[in-house]
């Protein structure tokens, strides 16, 4: 009998480590360890999502005649203990590429060695393993377009079946009892302020099926408009692994086969499907960078000759967090984050640009806020996105290109539909006034929406100051 240690792979189907273990062993006991060292980095939304995903996974295993054993403690101690209790010969798991996970896994390997338990580690989280797509010089790619060309043309594996019924062990066979899952309070978390979505394989498949049956064919034209249901919202499921990436890829390939036109035909359904597949490649690009440079979550990927002189602006940072900057599209995005623990991708770029270029606040403050608030927080994706906006990252936005928050709102929320949904103070304000909020007089703003603030900074002035800040960092005269 073998153990399979679940981490970011909370599903029974399309799980490489689990499938290989079930093939090699006469029975498998699935285990999840509630590790205080990992939970210390979690947040109420992510802890709630994790418990929901574990409940779903447990239900899947019970349908297969087994159960999920959930233990709490240090995996260096718990995994050897459980292996001894059940007479397990080996422990398997799927790789996690963050620095924190890699340090933990190295220590678990040593603990298992000391206990005389073998282990097997598998690549599962991505379609292409970090290190498998390299430059001619043997380095990881730092420019997405080159990475994309190789990634796109690589053969993708097919989804894997779940273990057969009867091959999964019930923990009741040992001295342990699967028991009830802990509550948020048991884990030391408050109830999340946001409404956290359902997280589990059934929910993931429902969303994948709906997206690939309809919205994926309009993805290219709809994905930047937050008021439209144009994105897949699969990020939370990929975060927790409640759906396998091979299953997602297969669904997009099936959609491509049904789409009108060709991927190279601008405006066609096939081009939209291809654009979504390109976004999956962006996710993997950032994961490959994270695997090569785990420090990217805290350090600039690309340094300048001099340090960037970020501003200390507690008041501006607080206004940004609260969604009270006086820039409607920025505030709408930040309030969506507060209410849903999720934010539309276009708005993630807009609010990140505003923090780093308009407020000139260090991107790490924004990354930390996203880490605490996003239910789909992923170190690679979030660090990559923040460093892109801050002009410090791989294939980043050039420092002299600064998002204009008024133009972004007018272009991607022209009727102010999204703004009015999340900023109720502006619900009765005409769209043209919302998009011109920065140009109105104090008296006009007070008459239209007395409870909504004036802009905290002048965008035009801050744009020039931000460019000067980066030119100084570059050492320009």
Provide the β-strand partners of residue 36.
none
Same domain, 369 and 274: no
Helix, strand or coil for residue 120? strand
Pair 270, 232 in one domain: yes
Residue-wise pLDDT tens digits, 120-134: 999 999 999 999 999
Torsion of CA 378, 383, 385, 389, to 10 degrees: 160
In a domain, 239, yes or no: yes
User: Residue 325 belongs to a domain with what CATH number?
Assistant: 1.10.579.10
- Backbone angles phi and psi of 48, in degrees to 5: -65, -45
Instruction: Check residue 370 and give its pLDDT.
Output: 98
In a domain, 21, yes or no: yes
Residue written as token pair 């091979």? 246
**How far is C-alpha 327 from the geometric centre of its chain's CA atoms?**
25
Domain end point (choices 258, 292, 326): 292
Q: Could you tell me if residue 257 is inside a domain?
A: yes
pLDDT in tens, 220-235: 999 999 999 999 999 9
**182 occurs within a structural domain:** no
Instruction: Tell me the average pLDDT across 239-258.
Output: 98
- Evaluate whether 133 touches 288 at the Cβ level (below 8 Å): yes
- Is the pLDDT reported for residue 179 higher than 90? no
CATH number at residue 234: 1.25.40.80
The gap from C-alpha 443 to its chain's centroid, in whole angstroms, comes to 42
**Nearest one of 257, 235, 250 to 375, comparing CA atoms:** 235
Among 35-49, 174-188, 323-337, whose mean pLDDT is lowest? Answer: 174-188
In a domain, 305, yes or no: no
pLDDT of residue 178: 64
pLDDT at 53 over 70: yes
Q: Say if residue 222 is in the same domain as residue 276.
A: yes
Q: How many CA atoms are closer than 13 Å to the CA of 371, on its beta-carbon side? A: 17
Q: Is the domain of 277 the same as that of 152?
A: yes
pLDDT computed for residue 175 by the predictor: 61
Number of H helices, E strands in the chain: 21, 5
- Integer Cα distance of 78 and 32 in angstroms: 10
Q: Is the dihedral of CA 120, 121, 127, 129 positive or negative?
A: negative
Of 69-83, 245-259, 393-407, which range is least confident? 393-407
Q: Tell me the mean pLDDT in the region 384-395.
A: 94
pLDDT at 177 over 90: no
Q: Which residues contact 92 (CB under 8 A, 6 or more apart)?
A: 2, 3, 4, 5, 17, 18, 20, 21, 119, 120, 121, 122
Percent of the chain with pLDDT over 90: 94
**Residue 173 confidence (pLDDT):** 66
List CB contacts of 386: < 8 A, sequence separation 6 or more: 352, 356, 363, 364, 366, 367, 370, 393
Q: How far apart are CA 1 and CA 24, in angstroms?
A: 9
Q: Same domain for 114 and 137?
A: no
Element housing 34 (H / E): strand 28-34
DSSP character for 384? H
Same structural domain, 31 and 101: yes
- 153 with 261, same domain? yes
Evaluate whether residue 181 is within a structural domain: no
Q: Are 183 and 44 in contact (CB under 8 A)?
A: no
pLDDT exceeds cutoff 70 at 477: no
Range name among 47-56, 178-187, 348-357, 458-467 with the lowest pLDDT average: 178-187
Verify that 61 and 7 share a domain, yes or no: yes
Helix axes 44-63, 201-213, angle to 10 degrees: 100
Across 451-468, average pLDDT? 97
One domain, residues 104 and 136: no
Interior angle at CA 232, CA 206 and CA 418, nearest 5: 120
Q: Are residues 134 and 265 in the same domain?
A: yes
Domain residues for the domain of 15 are 2-124
End residue of a domain, out of 245, 261, 292:
292
| 325 plus 285 within the same structural domain | no
Residue 176 has pLDDT above 80, yes or no: no
- Between 303 and 389, whose confidence is greater? 389
How much is the pLDDT for 303?
86
Residues 375 and 467 in one domain: yes
Q: Kindly state whether residue 74 falls inside one of the protein's structural domains.
A: yes
Burial classification of residue 375, based on how many CB atoms lie within 10 Å of its CB (0-12 exposed, 13-18 middle, 19 or more buried): buried
- Residue 192: inside a domain, yes or no? no
In angstroms, the CA 452 to CA 438 distance is 12
- From 261, 292, 323, give the residue that closes a domain: 292
* pLDDT (mean) for 187-210: 96
- For the cut 90, the answer to whether the pLDDT of residue 435 exceeds it is yes
Q: How many domains does the chain have?
A: 3
């Amino acid at each position: 009998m073998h153990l399979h240690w679940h981490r970011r792979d909370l599903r029974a189907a399309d799980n490489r480590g689990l499938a290989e273990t079930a093939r090699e062993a006469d029975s498998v006991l699935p285990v999840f360890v509630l590790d205080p060292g990992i939970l210390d980095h979690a947040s109420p939304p992510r802890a709630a999502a994790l418990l929901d995903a574990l409940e779903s996974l447990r239900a899947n295993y019970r349908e297969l005649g087994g159960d999920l054993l959930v233990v709490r403690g240090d995996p260096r101690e718990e995994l050897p203990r459980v292996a001894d209790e059940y007479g397990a010969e080996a422990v398997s798991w799927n790789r996690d590429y963050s620095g924190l996970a890699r340090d933990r896994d190295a220590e678990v390997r040593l603990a298992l060695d000391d206990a005389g338990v073998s282990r097997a580690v598998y690549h599962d989280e991505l379609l292409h393993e970090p290190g498998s797509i390299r430059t001619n010089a043997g380095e990881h790619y730092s420019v997405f377009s080159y990475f994309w060309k190789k990634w796109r043309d690589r053969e993708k594996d097919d989804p894997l079946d779940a273990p057969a019924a009867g091959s999964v062990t019930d923990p009741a066979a040992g001295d342990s009892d699967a028991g009830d899952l802990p509550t948020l309070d048991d884990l030391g978390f408050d109830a999340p302020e946001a409404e956290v979505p359902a997280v589990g394989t059934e929910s993931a498949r429902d969303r994948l099926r709906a997206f690939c049956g309809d919205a994926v064919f309009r993805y290219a034209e709809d994905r930047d408009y937050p008021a439209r249901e144009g994105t897949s919202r699969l990020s939370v499921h990929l975060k927790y692994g409640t759906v396998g990436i091979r299953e997602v890829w297969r669904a997009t390939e099936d959609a491509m086969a049904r789409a009108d036109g060709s991927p190279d035909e601008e405006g066609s359904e096939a081009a939209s499907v291809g654009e979504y597949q390109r976004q999956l490649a962006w996710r993997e690009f950032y994961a490959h960078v994270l695997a090569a440079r785990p420090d990217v979550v805290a350090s600039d990927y690309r340094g300048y000759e001099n340090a960037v002189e970020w501003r200390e602006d507690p008041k501006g940072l607080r206004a940004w967090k609260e969604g009270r900057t006086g820039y409607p599209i920025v505030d709408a995005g930040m309030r969506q984050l507060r209410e849903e623990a999720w934010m539309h991708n276009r708005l993630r770029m807009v609010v990140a640009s505003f923090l780093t270029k308009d407020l000139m606040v260090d991107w790490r403050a924004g990354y930390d806020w996203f880490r605490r608030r996003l239910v789909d927080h992923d170190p690679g994706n979030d660090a990559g996105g923040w460093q892109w906006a801050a002009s410090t990252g791989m294939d980043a936005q050039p420092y002299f290109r600064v998002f204009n928050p008024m133009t972004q709102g007018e272009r991607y929320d022209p009727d102010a539909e999204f703004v009015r949904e999340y900023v109720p103070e502006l619900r009765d304000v005409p769209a043209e006034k919302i998009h011109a909020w920065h140009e109105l007089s104090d008296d006009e703003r007070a008459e239209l929406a007395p409870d909504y603030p004036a802009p905290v900074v002048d965008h035009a002035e801050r744009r020039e100051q931000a460019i000067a800040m980066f030119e100084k960092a570059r050492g320009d005269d």
